[in-house]
Structure 1
Amino acid sequence: MKKTLTTTILCALALAACSTQTPPPKQAQKGGSTSTPTPTSAIAWAPCTDVQGPDGKTINDPGMECAKLPVPLDYAAQGGEKIDLALVRIKATGAKQGSLVFNFGGPGGSGVDTLPLAKALFAGLNSSYDLVSFDPRGVDRSAPVKCGDTEKYVSESFEDDDKMAEQFVADCQKDSAKVLPHLGTVNAAQDLEQIRVAVGDDKLNYFGISYGTHLGAVYATKYPQKVGRFVLDAALDPTITFEERAIAQTKGFKQAFEAFEKDCAARKCKLGGDVEPAVDKLIDQLEAKPLKVKDRELTADLASTGIFAALYAKQTWPLLEQGVTAAQQGDGTMLLLLADSYTGRKPDGTYSTMMASMPAISCLDSSERPDEATVDRVEQATEKIFPLVASGGLGSICRHWPAKGSDEAKRIDATGSAPIVVVGGKGDPATPYEWAPKLAAQLKTGVLLTYEGEGHGAYLSGSSCVTRAIDAYLLKGEVPQQNTTCPAA
């Protein structure tokens, strides 16, 4: 099958960076430093002017403010060029006890865009905290990475996966050469320290989801004495290999699909109890003839992406059922909308930087540069597990990446920090449960909380048990007992 950029990185987007198959070397990531960043001045908050909702309209919220925070482009030369980090905050609705900084995942996700949309989900925490998030370096408003025409790479198919990757990387180098060597999670962790200083908190209170757990773990490793109340939900194990990660995630999404299929059968949904053959038939039909959706097309690749996106959470299973059923009847609108939500396509047809910034950050976070034989082996292995999301991941892109990768972000040890709550979900397709106890052990100060239900991210699952445990910790400092388990919602 011909491939788009989407299928090349399907199982890596919004999950994690490439991994390594060798012990981490002691070299530092370029721009990395073990010293504390020079404190910045206080942030000058002002009304937001460019934060939009899903409908493309500007969000007007009197409790929301935005700001720019200058940080060093290169932490090894702090007196040199600066870049601006874009920040957003939603002011505490009650007596403020500090700021709670969020990273919602990626790498490459925009916190400035996400926090306003997620505001209601964190209302209980907003009563006591200013909710703060940001676009990490290389993302959207913060020295964004650009790699040519995103529409071309998302929508057009390529015969040769490796040639597509080589062309994509050449576009990244052409458009973003200055910033590429200075991305990565180690640098982002130092930016987090700058944010802590700028908001005026003695310690960083932090909520990281998915890739955000990796960023939080690296921060805690670099600044253990500055760790306040930390929640790492949908935990990532940064030490596993490239191949292990791709296979584990493919199994996770296969498990989620089977759970959706079982749910469909129990509800006697329109797709019936045997969903996979129906989906396979639809993909085959779209491979032969894409569906027209206004001035666009729903291709087999985009349909697969939309289905994949809907498997992240049980709450989006109804959209999956609706999308597949409609596409069977000739209407590809819903699956295309789901695919757009995943690739970062906005209502006006422009794209976020996600498709560019994710590999730019990920490839810098690893020294691994898989050869073509390794990528082929991974593709064959994932094809056997779950053909719908089979992918070689970032292997081809990272192999051609112009900036040298480092394994510094894989060395996790927060000895001396306050307790860090690490959350893993048994039905999480994107960050399989087994990664959570591994990350908790690597941190040395991790406290494991297990969620028995479905979905990527336990706090957003609707589980009252998880919500109570995390809120009690963040609001009152009540650390859950080690190995606490919450039932499915």
Structure 2
Amino acid sequence: MRVGRGALLLPLVLLAACTAGPSVRPGIVVNDGGDPGVSTSSAAPGPAPVPQLNQPNPGRSIWGPCGPEVLEAFPAPAKVDLACGKITGTLDSPYAPGRGGVRLQVLKAGTGPIPLVVVNEVDGLPGTVYAARLAELLPPELLARFSLVGIDRRGTGNSDAVRCVPEEVRFALLDADPRALDVEGLVDQARTAGQQCSIALESRLPAIDTWRTAADVESLRVALGMDRLHAIGHGEGSRVLAVYADRYRDRVGRMVFDGAPDPNEDAVVALEGVAAGADATFAAFADDCAKRACELGANARQAFSEVLNQAASAPLATDDLDLTPGLILRAVQTALADRAGWPALSKALADARGGNPTALAALVTPLVLESEEVPATFDATLVTRCNDTKSRLSTEALNAAAKDWNTRYPYFGALTAEWLAVCSPWPVPSHPVTTPTAPTAPPIVVLATATDPLTPLSGTERAAQQLTTATLITWQGTGHGALGHSPCATEAAQSFLLNATTPRDGTACPP
């Protein structure tokens, strides 16, 4: 296996508009004390009105020029004004509740007077980079009033990035062909990863989760001088804001969740939806491929299987990475999220089939490879996801799920089931994500996409149902997220953020 050692730049997925622990170390403990960060509002239960848009309180600015550690993530100059800063959150490890610090990278895109915080998913682009890309897509009217403020979540990007999984263990976890259904082998490697992360991170390990990330967002609100938090959550980042709305009930402003994940506490239920959504998205990609006579020919499904079988016989080699079926599946699932990038995906698969897997490898490089400047995103994803879920399955249950999903969802079923196995040896977290309801929050606008490979429609619908004051808009399109893709969904979100106009629940936007 060849692994590049040079500095790696994160490839940016450009969004485009569409037509519509070791034995000597203590285990992770549960903090049974009260939560000092919970806001205790005296207001009577019930939905609050949409808050006013107030300018931030004057005070010391956190903003300055962006340094190379941020700008190197942009292959071309951003189209909006950028400013950067650092804030400090509270580590709040269960070993030292309410103590310790974590440095968090933040970025402001645009010059609008009111901050609109953007929280991205832990395994996606760093939140700072995603905010800048999103700002380039949103309407000028919105950016005249708001500036987008992205935050690299704790453990990611330039926010005390997590580096704890040895390279050989990371590859053993990600290289494996999911279709081989080697659950026991995966669990063994995951156990080693957990032990090494416990050694490397020590008390930090149990403090990297969604519960504490919500507290980081509260620290950002305070640093920005906002009386209430106005925010956008993208994909799994919406879960952070939902937890925020439960914890800090009298500080919730205008919020839009774009592709909220399934809130079900049973990981089997939530992840099966992801497997189904990913397979459905690939089917849509294959149909689109045939309609536009793409490089894969009339049968993209067969072509994809050929590439996977090639890699199973002999990994597809590039200068930096040898592509195995596990890495190829992850690369394709990543690319399926961006509907505008499907022509590039079909070409990358065709090139790989013809012996040039470079473009396909670029899609998965940020997940597996690290340099001195850029961490591999897998480490923070592993720690956060396993800290967030309390589901721990037996070997028998893991094998049953993997076999079942591999049959019913032949492209991404077994791959998705791997997360059940990877988290199975992880210590039970101190704050697993429960189901937020935000009973006294102002209206929250939730955008869903009909065919989404990462946060499927069924899960987003359940998330909206659980949130007491949510109103759901469904875009009948394909890809991950509707904001900036669907004019209809984007206009509804803009009207809510600017004018406090709450859309009708159940609104459907055309494809």
User: Which residue is 2:9 aligned to?
Assistant: none
Deviation at 1:454, TM superposition (A): 0.6
Tell me how far apart the structure 1 counterparts of residues 153 and 351 of structure 2 sit (CA, whole Å).
Answer: 37
- 1:231-286 superposed Cα distances (whole Å, 9 cap, x missing partner): 00112122252112222111111111111111122222232222212211221112
User: Which residue is 1:64 aligned to?
Assistant: 82
The reply to whether residue 103 of structure 1 matches residue 131 of structure 2 is no
* Distance 1:138-1:295 versus aligned 2 partners, 3 A rule: closer
* Distance 1:219-1:474 versus aligned 2 partners, 3 A rule: same
The reply to whether residue 231 of structure 1 matches residue 256 of structure 2 is yes
The reply to whether residue 476 of structure 1 matches residue 476 of structure 2 is no
The reply to whether residue 367 of structure 1 matches residue 383 of structure 2 is no
User: Which residue is 1:248 aligned to?
Assistant: 273
Number of matched pairs: 452
Deviation at 1:215, TM superposition (A): 0.8
Within a 5 Å distance, the mapping from 1:115-194 to structure 2 comes to 115-122=131-138, 124=140, 125-150=142-167, 153-154=170-171, 157=175, 160-194=185-219
Within a 5 Å distance, the mapping from 1:370-409 to structure 2 comes to 370-389=393-412, 390-391=414-415, 392-402=417-427, 404-407=429-432, 409=433
User: Which residue is 2:10 aligned to?
Assistant: none
Q: Amino acid of the residue matched to residue 207 of structure 1? A: I
Within a 5 Å distance, the mapping from 1:462-473 to structure 2 comes to 463-473=486-496
Q: Amino acid of the residue matched to residue 100 of structure 1? A: L
Within a 5 Å distance, the mapping from 1:41-440 to structure 2 comes to 42-49=60-67, 50-53=69-72, 63-74=81-92, 80-93=99-112, 96=113, 98-106=114-122, 110-122=126-138, 124=140, 125-150=142-167, 153-154=170-171, 157=175, 160-294=185-319, 296-341=321-366, 343=367, 345=369, 351-389=374-412, 390-391=414-415, 392-402=417-427, 404-407=429-432, 409-440=433-464
| Contact 2:210–2:240 (CA under 8 A) maintained in structure 1 | yes
Identical-residue share of aligned pairs (%): 27
SS state at 1:361 partner: helix
| Contact 2:120–2:237 (CA under 8 A) maintained in structure 1 | yes
| Contact 1:33–1:75 (CA under 8 A) maintained in structure 2 | no
SS state at 1:459 partner: coil
SS state at 1:206 partner: strand
Deviation at 1:148, TM superposition (A): 3.2
User: Which residue is 2:476 aligned to?
Assistant: 452
User: Which residue is 2:18 aligned to?
Assistant: none
* Distance 1:62-1:337 versus aligned 2 partners, 3 A rule: closer
Tell me how far apart the structure 2 counterparts of residues 62 and 246 of structure 1 sit (CA, whole Å).
Answer: 37
* Distance 1:448-1:55 versus aligned 2 partners, 3 A rule: closer
User: Which residue is 1:16 aligned to?
Assistant: none
Q: Amino acid of the residue matched to residue 111 of structure 2? A: A
| Contact 2:214–2:244 (CA under 8 A) maintained in structure 1 | yes
- 1:150-200 superposed Cα distances (whole Å, 9 cap, x missing partner): 475137746721111111111111111121122221211122112111111
SS state at 2:423 partner: helix
| Contact 2:117–2:232 (CA under 8 A) maintained in structure 1 | yes
Deviation at 1:437, TM superposition (A): 2.6
How much is the aligned-residue C-alpha RMSD, in angstroms?
2.8
| Contact 1:101–1:131 (CA under 8 A) maintained in structure 2 | yes
* Distance 1:228-1:208 versus aligned 2 partners, 3 A rule: same
* Distance 1:226-1:110 versus aligned 2 partners, 3 A rule: same
| Contact 2:164–2:201 (CA under 8 A) maintained in structure 1 | yes
* Distance 1:313-1:90 versus aligned 2 partners, 3 A rule: closer
User: Which residue is 2:3 aligned to?
Assistant: none
| Contact 1:254–1:385 (CA under 8 A) maintained in structure 2 | no
User: Which residue is 1:17 aligned to?
Assistant: none
- 1:339-370 superposed Cα distances (whole Å, 9 cap, x missing partner): 225x1647x69653421111211222222222
User: Which residue is 1:22 aligned to?
Assistant: none
Deviation at 1:62, TM superposition (A): 8.5
Deviation at 1:60, TM superposition (A): 7.7
* Distance 1:62-1:385 versus aligned 2 partners, 3 A rule: closer
Q: Amino acid of the residue matched to residue 505 of structure 2? A: Q
User: Which residue is 2:38 aligned to?
Assistant: 35
Deviation at 1:33, TM superposition (A): 3.9
Deviation at 1:433, TM superposition (A): 0.8
TM-score with structure 2 length normalisation? 0.81
5+ residue gaps, structure 2, are 1-29, 41-56, 177-181
Deviation at 1:36, TM superposition (A): 4.3
Q: Amino acid of the residue matched to residue 162 of structure 2? A: V
User: Which residue is 1:8 aligned to?
Assistant: none
Of 381-390 and 326-335, more deviation after overlay is shown by 381-390
Deviation at 1:138, TM superposition (A): 2.1
Deviation at 1:90, TM superposition (A): 2.0
SS state at 1:399 partner: coil
* Distance 1:46-1:376 versus aligned 2 partners, 3 A rule: same
| Contact 1:169–1:397 (CA under 8 A) maintained in structure 2 | no
* Distance 1:246-1:295 versus aligned 2 partners, 3 A rule: closer
SS state at 1:207 partner: strand
SS state at 1:413 partner: coil
Q: Amino acid of the residue matched to residue 154 of structure 1? A: F
Q: Amino acid of the residue matched to residue 433 of structure 1? A: L
* Distance 1:425-1:140 versus aligned 2 partners, 3 A rule: same
